[in-house]
Amino acid sequence: MSLNFLAGFNIMRVFNGLGAACLSAGLLLVGCNSTSHSYLLKENAIINKALDKAALEIVMDDDNFLSVSAQHNPGARAAMSQSISTAFQSVPPTPGAGPGEMAAAYVIATYMIKAQADSSMHSAASNRALPLFELLKQEQNKGRPEAIIRGHLLSMKFIQIGELNTATGCCELKVVVRPQVQLSNDLSTLEVKVDYTVSDTTAGEVVYKNSFIYLTDPAQQERGIDHWTNNSAKEFFGALDLALREIVKMIDFEFMPNERGEHKPKVATIKYQNKAGSFYERGSLLWTVNRRITLRDLRGNLRSFHGDLL
């Protein structure tokens, strides 16, 4: 990739000319990717209505229901960083370029190469996962994933799903569920994530919003995509089923009146290890069963993953 187009791009001259405007631009550039997580838990409002029936809406984005992570594999990520560094170093500095120009050129070059590298890593991983995408498409046409998800959500204990027809007066609460599955870059694990939003239909406001995440135990990598696709994607749907069963447990825990309020587990650094090594995660440990750890992370999300506490 040629970066010679950056030569002669005198960004500092532009900056000097614009004066105060550039400062604002800098602030904007830095602040533009700000995100905030609304972890809403209006306890009274929701507990009082929790035993009422709620309308359920499952938002299935069939095209993006399954995706592949581009950044999971640390080895590939390190190689990408190396290629960025090499590419940048190969660009000769513009004669007379000041530090500001070099900095701007570096930022632009880095983002461009990073975007390209991310894209190619993602394409490579997605190509390997194509058989699973194709199999899943066939099953989606039959409505299988949605049926599995709906089946599990109907078994929730503390928010009961009622008739979907709001015209008949049901319901005071509306539950909107967005399920997503992400296959790790090395094809070894699935991350099943359910974005869960509860709205008060009378007031028309969101009273609870959170994500429930289940990371499968790592599969043997040498089996590759076959692990997930063999026997009509038996392992894939098995993992999805197991994940949703656990996610419903997490949702039930979240809405179980006795478990909330004064007895909230303390936030601490949780130490655990699994096949991939030792890790630290800040959050509240909720429970550990069958070498699986369930915690509430600092974003408020409930997450379940494989590991032994240290």
Partner 1 sequence: MRSLKIIIVMLNIMLLVGCAGVPQPPVPLLDTYWEKQNQKLGVYIQQLEKPEFYMEGDVRLLDYAINAAVMSSATSHFEGLDVSDYDVLRGDINRHFLLQGSDVELLMDDLKINDLAEYEDPNKEDTIYFAKKDYTAFKKKYGIDHLLVVYPKRVGLARPYQGFIPMGDPRAIFEVHGELVDLNNNQLLWYADVLHANFSSGEWDEPPTFPGLTNGFYAALEAVKKDVLTRLQKKAVKQAKLDVK
Q: Which stretch binds partner 1 (CB under 8 A): 46-54, 100-108, 242-250, 254-262?
A: 100-108
Q: Which two tokens stand for residue 218?
A: 């790592």
3-state helix, strand, coil in the chain (%, to 5): 45, 25, 30
Contact call for residues 83 and 77 (beta carbons, < 8 A): no
Q: Does 36 bind partner 1 (CB under 8 A)?
A: yes
Q: Which stretch binds partner 1 (CB under 8 A): 94-102, 145-153, 161-169, 255-263?
A: 94-102
Q: Does 2 bind partner 1 (CB under 8 A)?
A: no
- Amino acid at position 222, single letter: E
Q: Which stretch binds partner 1 (CB under 8 A): 43-51, 57-65, 182-190, 276-284?
A: 276-284
**Farthest-apart Cα atoms in the chain, separation:** 75
DSSP state of 93: P
User: CA-CA distance, 32 to 39, in Å (whole number)?
Assistant: 21
- Residue in 18, 103, 115, 130 binding partner 1, rule: CB under 8 A: 103
Report the nearest approach of partner 1 to the CB of residue 99 (Å). Answer: 6
Q: Which x/- pattern, by CB under 8 A, does the window 54-93 give for partner 1?
A: ----------------------------------------
Q: Does 115 bind partner 1 (CB under 8 A)?
A: no
Q: Does 265 bind partner 1 (CB under 8 A)?
A: no
Phi, psi of 191, deg, nearest 5? -115, 115
Q: How far is CA 48 from CA 87, 159, 251, 257, in A?
A: 60, 11, 17, 10
Total residues in contact with partner 1, by rule CB under 8 A: 28
- Residue in 5, 16, 21, 27 binding partner 1, rule: CB under 8 A: 27
Q: Does 13 bind partner 1 (CB under 8 A)?
A: no
Show Cβ contacts of residue 295 under 8 Å, excluding neighbours closer than 6 positions: 270, 281, 283, 284, 285, 286, 302, 303
- Residue in 104, 161, 173, 247 binding partner 1, rule: CB under 8 A: 104
- Residue in 26, 74, 143, 265 binding partner 1, rule: CB under 8 A: 26
The nearer residue to partner 1, 37 or 291, going by C-beta atoms, is 37
Contact call for residues 255 and 210 (beta carbons, < 8 A): no
Q: Does 194 bind partner 1 (CB under 8 A)?
A: no
User: CA-CA distance, 119 to 99, in Å (whole number)?
Assistant: 30
Residues found near partner 1 in the complex (CB under 8 A): 23, 26-27, 30-31, 33-37, 99-100, 102-104, 106-107, 110, 269, 271, 279-283, 297-299
